[in-house]
Copies of this chain bind each other. A is one copy, B any other.
Amino acid sequence: MSAEWLRRWRRGGPAERPGPDPAAGPGPPPPALRYRRPKFVPGGAEESPRGGRAVRGAGSERPLPWGAGYAEVINAEKSEFNEDQAACCQISVRRREPGLEEDEEWLILCSMQFLTGYYWALFDGHGGPDAAIIASNYLHYCIKQKLEEVVGGITEAQPPMHLSGRCVCDSDPQFVEEKHIHAADLVVGALENAFQECDEVIGQEMESMNQTGGCTALAALYFQGKLYVANAGDSRAILVLKDNVVPMSSEFTPETERQRIQHLAFLFPKLLDGEFTRFEFPRRLKGDDVGQKVLYRDYFMEGWGYKTVEKADLKYPLVHGHGKQARLLGTLAVSRGLGDHQLKVIDTNIEVKPFLSCIPKVNVFDFALHDIKEDDVLIMATDGLWDVLCNSEVAQMVRSFLAENRTDPQRFSELAKCLVCRARGMKRGHQWMLDDSHEASYDDISVFVIPLHNKEED
């Protein structure tokens, strides 16, 4: 349904409020996506030259919302394209008069008002750049649409039981109160539904283009005085405040979601088609282990036990490896994200998608409860950054850079470049090295630096 308006929008260009159009035929097959860099990166329309891994930033001629900074660098020949994508924009959410039925809305077309949100997102593609490009084109439309669907509830002091404002039962406000439902919960619900919607769109688009691939998604939305960070995958967002660092996301990988993944295989063993074992072992087992009691974990265990090894345990484990090497079905390094509808384990008929989740975890930060200082920022970055820099290293770089560059109008862009540079390191022979002679990041790296000061006054 909604996927349909997005598809039509893609064919026909943006429309403020696409509605059903029964006269519209199926139309020609959608054109293949053209690879591109984000629109706000100068030269973004061209295919990215590798260019010795030069760091590229947002141009000063098209400033990002809030004067945010952005920078990126392509991977060290891991893939033909930079599989990261970025998006940011203002989101205008059309306000509805409470109590008006949908078919009466034309009555207030003139007094229409908008609520304004601000959106930044990073997508880290795998299996090709396509899913990340579609996500960077569509997710904000899905969010706008889902927010508009509930906006009547968001603008009330307390979300009403009935969106129409009609009161079917006198004690409805008490029921809503008892469940502690606030406007922020509607925004969280809208983000959760938007990710699901966007995943559906990607599935349809990729199928129609006969493409495969998926992407992680990390989206930040500032709306009505609160910052919402929705994450599905292994990108990360942190608030670097004057006195502390607030993690705004957590990573979803085969390791962090082992129990959910194993439990699904326990409930539906056919998903493994006899090719994988659901148990976790410290390493892949071999013939010599059969009959021995070895360390293992099943879906219900946070602890470890010993299991007498049977032949079936020699199969490849559903979740295997450790840290950056951890894989789901030997195939994927993340357990949440968008796309991958067509992904199968190589040389098998085993689908990966049932084990993936497209649902983000949403964290909320209420600006009204914090005294935001001048140099407080939100840092969003793909795993290319976090693989080599921890939160406290990033926080330290942010604080010292901003303290030393008080007046530069491009300071947030420069800081984004500085962070990407640091994680990419320098080329020494055939290797990319950090300052401290550890290996640098060979991955695509994308970073937003978003200043927060005085934004609640917008």
- Chain A interface, DSSP helix/strand/loop, else mixed: mixed
Q: Contact string, A157-187, partner B, CB cutoff 8 A, digits 1/0?
A: 0010111101011011001101101001111
Q: Contact string, A277-310, partner B, CB cutoff 8 A, digits 1/0?
A: 0000011001011001111010011111110000
Contact with A305, one of B184, B186, B306 (Cβ below 8 angstroms):
B186
Chain B neighbourhood of A295, CB < 8 A: 153, 159, 161, 176, 181
Chain A: number of interface residues, binned into ranges: 35 or more
Which candidate, A23-31, A111-119, A189-197, A399-407, is the interface stretch facing chain B? A189-197
Structural contact, B150 and A305, CB atoms closer than 8 A = yes
> What is the CB-to-nearest-CB distance from A175 to chain B, in angstroms, rounded to a whole number?
4
Structural contact, B362 and A282, CB atoms closer than 8 A = no
Structural contact, B163 and A303, CB atoms closer than 8 A = no
Known contacts: A149-B306, A163-B306, A282-B181. The answer to whether A289 contacts B168 by CB under 8 A is yes
Does residue A107 face the partner (Cβ distance < 8 Å to B)? Answer: no
Structural contact, A303 and B188, CB atoms closer than 8 A = yes
Structural contact, A185 and B286, CB atoms closer than 8 A = no
Does residue A322 face the partner (Cβ distance < 8 Å to B)? Answer: yes
Copy tally for this chain in the complex stands at 2
Does residue A217 face the partner (Cβ distance < 8 Å to B)? Answer: no
Contact with A304, one of B172, B181, B283 (Cβ below 8 angstroms):
B181
> What is the CB-to-nearest-CB distance from A318 to chain B, in angstroms, rounded to a whole number?
16
> What is the CB-to-nearest-CB distance from A378 to chain B, in angstroms, rounded to a whole number?
20
Does residue A368 face the partner (Cβ distance < 8 Å to B)? Answer: no
Residue of B nearest to A255 (CB): B179
> What is the CB-to-nearest-CB distance from A233 to chain B, in angstroms, rounded to a whole number?
16
Structural contact, A293 and B190, CB atoms closer than 8 A = no
> What is the CB-to-nearest-CB distance from A95 to chain B, in angstroms, rounded to a whole number?
15
Contact with A192, one of B153, B187, B303 (Cβ below 8 angstroms):
B303
Does residue A267 face the partner (Cβ distance < 8 Å to B)? Answer: yes
Structural contact, A168 and B362, CB atoms closer than 8 A = no
Question: How far, in angstroms, from A191 to B191 measured CA to CA in the complex?
Answer: 38
Structural contact, A303 and B169, CB atoms closer than 8 A = no
Chain B neighbourhood of A171, CB < 8 A: 283
Chain B neighbourhood of A186, CB < 8 A: 303-305
18 contacts between A and B (CB under 8 A): A146-B305, A150-B306, A153-B295, A168-B289, A171-B283, A172-B283, A176-B295, A178-B323, A185-B304, A186-B304, A187-B303, A190-B305, A191-B303, A192-B303, A193-B301, A196-B300, A300-B357, A302-B361
Given contacts A172-B282, A181-B304, 5 further A-B contacts (CB under 8 A): A186-B303, A188-B302, A190-B303, A300-B359, A302-B361
